[in-house]
Amino acid sequence: MNNLLLTPIEYLKGVGPSRGELLRKELGIHKYKDLINFYPNRYIDRTRYYKINELQNNVAEVQIIGKIINVKTVEFGKGRKRLVATFVDDTGQMELVWFQGHKWVRESLKINEVSVIFGKCTSFNGIYNMSHPEIELLSEHEQSLRSAMQPVYPSTETLTNRGISNRTINKIMQQLFLETHTLFTETLPDYLITELKLISKKDALINIHFPKSTEALAKAKFRLVFEELFFIQLQLITKNLVQKHKIKGHPFTKVGENFNDFYQNHLPFQLTGAQKRVIKEIRTDMGTNAQMNRLLQGDVGSGKTIVAFMSMLLALDNGFQACLMAPTEILANQHFIGLSELANELNINIKILTGSSKTAARRIIHEELENGTLQILIGTHALLEDKVKFQNLGLAVIDEQHRFGVEQRSKLWKKNEIPPHVLVMTATPIPRTLAMSLYGDLDISVIDELPPGRKPIQTVHRFDSNRLKVWKFIRDEIALGRQIYIVYPLIQESAKMDFKDLMDGHESISRDFPLPQYSISILHGKMKPADKDAEMKRFSEGKTNIMVATTVIEVGVNVPNASVMIIESAERFGLSQLHQLRGRVGRGADQSYCILMTSHKLSSDSKTRMETMVSTNDGFEIAEVDLKLRGPGNLMGTQQSGVLNLQIADIVRDREILALARNHASKILKEDAPLQKPEHASLRAVYIELTKKKNIWNYIS
Ligand code: ADP
Ligand code: MG
């Protein structure tokens, strides 16, 4: 790669040290090339002007022509002020609002001059308002040249507050392209470009950032999506070729004492048919000389844990250690408590290691791991620390893998010369064909049957205005001895606001459900692990009636007595997340309920999501709807899907391009696996670049 593209971002004209620092921290943009690969979220049609009487809540940004007729400062709360301007056109009036930078804003506002405002509208008490709009005089606006498709880049609260607007990013992007566009080189072989009628890499980059037309943008997207998926497939398939031929695994040939004793004497319930089948698949796989890499899919509550435990017993029976890694401390603890009960019956030495393990306990764990007396270790990311050395790790189970960050699987991998078998458990239901291409040739087991006797969860959708009735329902359930979850959204871009929502919610719930009759737990990401555990414990022991929480509780938490899940602002959650949350109830013998609370204004997608949740409990069916909903027009959709960390492709929306990319990657590798033919020189260069800094498992994060 040309050196100029590796220049640290602060050296770009218009960036400098302090903006450079922000770009690094907030967006992970370190070098010129990172900014080049920082693609817009979406594009706005700036040829369209709205009238005030056409406004709707929360439509994307709009631009309106009109005049500011007055400006005033309004106090709200203790000494806090905002600046409010009245803006009118020939159809009505609205408000422009600023929470910050008042003096400067006030001085720059031009009263009674025809201006163009641009921003997002919301309505409050029947009046539309736009906060922190971009404003230009109409005369200036008409002079500035704009392409019809104006890119909008992903941003964060901090960036906006620190004055790095979309316009700023646009400007530095222009500067960057001015300096570097001659250096963009082609990455795909000529014959592939011809065959698939792709545009060049250079044209694609230019048009993704500065689209000349919708057609040019579509071609640019296609080219970049194809390329991204193609190189992932190239790596996955290569990895699998190597793995199948060279990576030896520990053959677990014995089914021994632990497994048999447990199966015959200590099973807490009868296994479902699906559980039995999957255990058999795992057993067979671990019995060969090759390393197992298996994905275990099963809806929430389908009973993956016992399958993991019995797989670990097989490792022990063959003289190996096993570990289970969970994404959160709460979950690790819960696994530890549950599995200790089973393990103790078999006299198995099982321990837990998390970020909050004490030094003394750690020392014992390190020692016992190395001398082999510790048989099963449960934990969080802490398991990946360098100090944690197993004597002979035979099986690593990873629960809910989509919560793990980068490089983690490969780290576990490095701990032994012969890698352990790996079992990844996920409740994110991905249609099988998609999973195949996504995980390469990773083997897949599916638990497609719930344990018997579960009453299906009843789901309803209620508007905020029905809250009194919902509260009455909660009181009735509590009177029956049940417990309640109330969950608030937590979305990264506005962590602060979400935190406020949660705290406000907690306050009003505390008022409506006062002590001593009711007691309430609270759980959120800002709490210390010890406090989280304490709250979780209080709730799971039945000492509190209501658990107010953010999505921290989404993954795996198991309190069978909790029978009601209330999801606040449910329209802000994706389908798979809603389904995960709902899975927290319905674990005991009682009838359980899920109540989706939303405002009245819902987009048609949100409506479909609510209807889907109300009409089905089947994770795979929900995944199919999700797949349809997240169809075209969601450029960065993958970020929300939580499955792959992709730059531009969306494995759901782009599944046809994925299949295309996979076919071509596979064909090329069949003919020229080492990529040594001259026409594959560019492929090899990119491939080496990718493998140098990234492990393919990064993609499955
Ligand atoms: P998940 O797949 O979501 O991780 P768990 O393994 O936590 O599900 O199991 C959910 C609950 O169902 C647990 O309380 C577990 O003990 C119980 N369970 C699992 N398998 C069975 C079964 N075959 N029969 C009855 N209960 C079961
Ligand atoms: Mg689980």
Q: What is the mean pLDDT of the chain?
A: 86
Q: Which of 262, 263, 267, 269 to mutate to test the pocket of ligand 1 (most atoms within 8 A of CB)?
A: 269
Same domain for 273 and 363, yes or no, is yes
Mark out the alpha helices in 71-146 (DSSP H runs): 102-108, 138-143
Does ligand 1 have an atom closer than 6 angstroms to the CB of 579? no
**Nearest residue CA, atom 27 of ligand 1?**
451
In the block, residue with structure tokens 């929470």: 99
For residue 24, give every residue at least 6 positions away whose Cβ sits within 8 Å of its Cβ, in sequence order, or none.
9, 30
Give the pLDDT score at 1: 60
Same domain for 120 and 262, yes or no, is no
User: Residue 557 Cα, ligand 2 centroid: separation in angstroms?
Assistant: 8
Give the span between the Cα atoms of 333 and 476, in whole angstroms. 31
Same domain for 311 and 262, yes or no, is yes
Give the pLDDT score at 147: 60
In a domain, 89, yes or no: yes
Same domain for 504 and 561, yes or no, is yes
Please give the tally of structural domains in the chain. 3
User: Residue 567 Cα, ligand 1 centroid: separation in angstroms?
Assistant: 23
For residue 410, what is the domain's CATH number?
3.40.50.300
Assign 633 a pLDDT band (cuts: 50, 70, 90). very low
Nearest of 114, 108, 168 to residue 141 by alpha carbon: 114
User: Residue 331 Cα, ligand 2 centroid: separation in angstroms?
Assistant: 8
Give the span between the Cα atoms of 353 and 332, in whole angstroms. 9
In the block, residue with structure tokens 């909660």: 474
Say if residues 27 and 159 touch (Cβ distance below 8 Å): yes
Same domain for 562 and 476, yes or no, is yes
Helix (H) or strand (E) holding 293: strand 293-298
Give the span between the Cα atoms of 124 and 332, in whole angstroms. 44
Same domain for 266 and 403, yes or no, is yes
Same domain for 495 and 380, yes or no, is no
Would you say the C-alpha torsion 555, 556, 562, 564 has a positive or negative sign? positive
Q: Which two tokens stand for residue 104?
A: 């400067």
For residue 530, give every residue at least 6 positions away whose Cβ sits within 8 Å of its Cβ, in sequence order, or none.
356
Assign 696 a pLDDT band (cuts: 50, 70, 90). very low
- Burial, 87: exposed, middle or buried (Cβ in 10 Å; 0-12, 13-18, 19+)? buried
Q: Is 151 helix (H, G, I), strand (E, B) or coil?
A: strand
What mean pLDDT comes out for the span 328-350? 92
For residue 115, what is the domain's CATH number?
2.40.50.140
Q: In what order do the strands lie in the sheet with 483-487?
A: 458-463, 593-598, 562-567, 483-487, 546-549, 520-523
In a domain, 81, yes or no: yes
Same domain for 389 and 522, yes or no, is no
Distance linking the first and last C-alpha atoms of the chain = 26
Give the span between the Cα atoms of 701 and 687, in whole angstroms. 20
Which range, 1-10, 107-116, 626-635, is most confident? 107-116
Range of lowest pLDDT (259-263, 288-292, 371-375, 628-632): 628-632
Give the pLDDT score at 78: 73
Does ligand 1 have an atom closer than 6 angstroms to the CB of 301? yes
Q: Is 58 helix (H, G, I), strand (E, B) or coil?
A: coil
**Of 616, 646, 677, which marks where a domain is finished?**
616
Mark out the alpha helices in 485-618 (DSSP H runs): 495-512, 529-540, 575-582, 604-615
In a domain, 134, yes or no: yes
Nearest of 165, 28, 160 to residue 493 by alpha carbon: 160
| Residues of the domain holding 73 | 47-145
Give the pLDDT score at 635: 26
Assign 642 a pLDDT band (cuts: 50, 70, 90). very low
Nearest of 172, 127, 142 to residue 19 by alpha carbon: 172
Whether 101 has a pLDDT exceeding 90, the answer reads no
Q: What is the largest CA-CA distance in the chain?
A: 86
**Of 117, 145, 173, which marks where a domain is finished?**
145
Residue bearing the bigger pLDDT, 152 or 318:
318
In a domain, 517, yes or no: yes
Give the pLDDT score at 639: 35
Give the pLDDT score at 701: 28
Give the span between the Cα atoms of 561 and 545, in whole angstroms. 10
**Nearest residue CA, atom 24 of ligand 1?**
451
Give the span between the Cα atoms of 557 and 580, in whole angstroms. 10
Same domain for 518 and 371, yes or no, is no
Same domain for 408 and 478, yes or no, is no
In a domain, 651, yes or no: no
Atom of ligand 1 nearest to the CA of 304: 2
Same domain for 517 and 610, yes or no, is yes
In a domain, 444, yes or no: no
Say if residues 306 and 274 touch (Cβ distance below 8 Å): no
Mark out the alpha helices in 346-407 (DSSP H runs): 359-371
Does ligand 1 have an atom closer than 6 angstroms to the CB of 586? no
Which range, 69-73, 167-171, 431-435, is most confident? 69-73
In a domain, 642, yes or no: no
In a domain, 471, yes or no: yes
Q: Which two tokens stand for residue 299?
A: 């809806």
Would you say the C-alpha torsion 436, 382, 158, 80 has a positive or negative sign? positive
Same domain for 139 and 280, yes or no, is no
- pTM for the full predicted model: 0.61
Nearest of 388, 333, 328, 392 to residue 363 by alpha carbon: 388
**Of 145, 173, 206, which marks where a domain is finished?**
145
